């Protein structure tokens, strides 16, 4: 399980970062008004843990929730995560359906 303290919000490069076993994973984003557009997911092939993606996304979604922002997932993998985890649908902006 990934610890929430390991997640870094690199505001300069506009990406959430996580380093696991020396491997660097990131989710690039764009912030507009009170919405955060999750645009690109990059996970190295060396990270083979099947639960890593879900745990990484849960940390990011909880971080965004605490900041009271809406999430617009433009990456297919992230949109798929939202469809599988209905508890995060409340973070979508009004009118956005996935």
Tell whether the model's pLDDT for residue 69 goes beyond 70: yes
Confidence of residue 3 (pLDDT cuts 50, 70, 90): low
Q: What is the pTM of this model?
A: 0.89
In Å, how far are 11, 36, 37, 65, 96 from 51, measured between CA atoms? Answer: 26, 24, 23, 21, 27
In DSSP notation, 2-40 reads --GGG-EEETTTTEEEEEETTEEEEEEEEEETTEEEEEE
Hey, what are 92's tokens?
A: 């979508």
CB 25 within 8 A of CB 18: yes
Domains with residue ranges and CATH for the chain: 4-91 (3.40.630.30)
């Amino acid at each position: 399980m990934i610890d929430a303290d390991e997640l870094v919000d690199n505001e300069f490069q506009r990406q959430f970062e996580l380093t696991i076993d020396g491997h660097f994973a990131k989710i690039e984003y764009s912030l507009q008004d009170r919405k955060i557009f999750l645009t690109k997911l990059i996970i190295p092939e060396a990270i083979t843990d099947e639960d890593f993606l879900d745990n990484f996304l849960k940390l990011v979604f909880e971080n965004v929730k605490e900041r009271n922002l809406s999430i617009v997932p433009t990456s297919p993998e992230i949109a798929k995560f939202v469809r599988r985890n209905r508890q995060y649908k409340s973070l979508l902006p009004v009118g956005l359906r996935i």
